[in-house]
Amino acid sequence: MNQLPIIEPFRIKSVEPIAVTDRAEREACLEHAGNNLFRLASNNVMIDLLTDSGTGAMSSAQWAAVMNGDESYAGSPSFHRFEAAVRKATGFEHVVPTHQGRAAEHLLFGTLVGPGQFVPNNTHFDTTRANIEAAGGVALDLPCAESADTREAYPFKGNMDLEGLERALLQHAGHVPLVMLTITNNAAGGQPASLQNLRAVKALCQRAQVPFYLDACRFAENAFLVRDREPKLAGRSVRSVAREIFDLADGCTMSAKKDGLANIGGFLAVRSAELAQELRQRLVVTEGFPTYGGLSGRDLEAVAQGLEEVLDEDYLTYRLASMRYIVQRLATAGIPVVQPTGGHAVFLDAARFLEHVPRTQYPGQALALELYLEGGIRSCEIGSVMLGRTDPDTGAELPAEHELVRLAIPRRTYTQSHMDYLIEIICRVWERRFDVPGVEITSAPKVLRHFQAGFRRLPARLAV
């Protein structure tokens, strides 16, 4: 007998229409947006894969919980439900609510990090890097060597480079206020860090007497992938694996817009009562009173319920099966896609996809624009537009390490047929890839240029 297909373990009670557009309409929209997908009106997008952050669908139980939100300024029972849910998932005693992940980072690094200090991570997300730098510190990226090769199918590309960490802890002894690990490693393709690697990082931190924190945005996806890929963990519940991972750490920052299954929210959770006290004092100045921290009571309720649902094994099985399905179909068609499957996004290797487009003509941006024109799909370039740097001596532009296009899949939002449509659009662009032109930048702000820059599509090259 055939294996049964894995179905979406939910049915749909409320729908949001998608405006179906044709290529001519999309050309006009893109022109108007300066060929920058961030500048498109989202109602002109058919399938929006710009981010998995805050874009998931809430469950009926979450919407019901929203109605129980208590909006009292102080002592809201909604906070106590939120605190209990965070404690249950993470085991951390002290819970500080924040409006989203970067606010938690701002509080933590503002408290622990100062000028001349170093914070190692597998790879810092842009906001963790920015908050460390804003506190005067240096953000060190120490991904494992396997993560550099987009073709390598190593199962734990989210691991930290242990030798690199050991060296950094020695070299900067006394100047490392904390070590962080991002699970899953978003910047490296949503790849998981193994339990073994997490344990080894913990041991190095203990030896150096440095606290160990997790950037836990996608903790449930990490725990699921670890359980799936570490044979010794077969038969364990994802919840218990997630808890074992949290047990290694001294605290975490969290954007509840990902594995909190909410549209907004976040928190900081720590073991130390003393640190929690200090964090709460800062919280009152910038975010709000310690029992709401920038969130409404109804948001706290939605996150509390979301943290329960995200560890549901049927949900995680469906989510990761759906990701695997996309990657396998694309790989079978010969399309350069980052392997193995990550937790929240599919990454196309645009440098190999559009091998006729030179790095100076931004193949990632060129491919992202083409996916929109072909099928109304909005993705995100993670390549030289976003991460390119200027050489301080020569003023020349240095390309990023990779030219990737990220297709981030919102949680519980799109169906299997949307994913089949996505695959078909990518395959069509692949078939006529040599017609896809490179792009040039026509205007760009000095910082975070990818959000606002204008682009021009260059005249198409003839097919070869």
List residues binding ligand F0G (CB under 6 A): 51, 53, 100-102, 125, 127-128, 182, 186, 215, 217, 255, 257, 266, 408
What secondary structure, in 3-state letters, does 295-364 show? CCHHHHHHHHHHHHHCCCHHHHHHHHHHHHHHHHHHHHCCCCECCCCCCCEEEEEHHHHCCCCCHHHCHH
Smallest gap from residue 260 Cβ to ligand F0G (A)? 9
Cβ distance to ligand F0G smaller for residue 52 or 370: 52
Smallest gap from residue 106 Cβ to ligand F0G (A)? 9
Cβ distance to ligand F0G smaller for residue 51 or 90: 51
**CA atoms of 183 and 242, how far apart (whole Å):** 11
Cβ distance to ligand F0G smaller for residue 376 or 410: 410
CA dihedral sign of residues 55, 59, 60, 63: negative
- CA nearest to 315, candidates 327, 307, 303: 307
**CA atoms of 389 and 379, how far apart (whole Å):** 22
CB 221 within 8 A of CB 184: yes
Q: Is 445 exposed, middle or buried (0-12, 13-18, 19+ CB in 10 A)?
A: exposed
CB 371 within 8 A of CB 430: no
Smallest gap from residue 98 Cβ to ligand F0G (A)? 9
Cβ distance to ligand F0G smaller for residue 101 or 189: 101
Smallest gap from residue 99 Cβ to ligand F0G (A)? 8
Q: What is the DSSP letter of 44?
A: G
Indicate the helix (H) or strand (E) that contains 93: none
Three-point CA angle 125, 329, 353, nearest 5° = 60
Half-sphere exposure (CA, 13 Å, Cβ side) for 298?
8
Cβ distance to ligand F0G smaller for residue 236 or 282: 282
Cβ distance to ligand F0G smaller for residue 290 or 410: 410
**CA atoms of 242 and 220, how far apart (whole Å):** 7
Cβ distance to ligand F0G smaller for residue 21 or 51: 51
Smallest gap from residue 408 Cβ to ligand F0G (A)? 6
Cβ distance to ligand F0G smaller for residue 304 or 436: 304
Which residues fall within 8 angstroms of residue 132, CB to CB, at 6 or more apart? Answer: 109, 113, 119, 124, 138, 139
Three-point CA angle 247, 230, 337, nearest 5° = 110
Cβ distance to ligand F0G smaller for residue 227 or 258: 258
- Please list the helix, strand and coil fractions of the chain in percent, rounded to the nearest 5, in that order: 45, 15, 40
Smallest gap from residue 275 Cβ to ligand F0G (A)? 20
Smallest gap from residue 404 Cβ to ligand F0G (A)? 13
Cβ distance to ligand F0G smaller for residue 371 or 436: 371
Angle between helices 126-134 and 101-112 (to 10 degrees): 30
Cβ distance to ligand F0G smaller for residue 52 or 301: 52
Smallest gap from residue 296 Cβ to ligand F0G (A)? 16
**Which residue, judged by CB position, is nearest to ligand F0G in the bound state?**
101
Smallest gap from residue 252 Cβ to ligand F0G (A)? 11
**CA atoms of 363 and 367, how far apart (whole Å):** 6
Smallest gap from residue 101 Cβ to ligand F0G (A)? 3
**CA atoms of 449 and 192, how far apart (whole Å):** 29
Smallest gap from residue 48 Cβ to ligand F0G (A)? 12
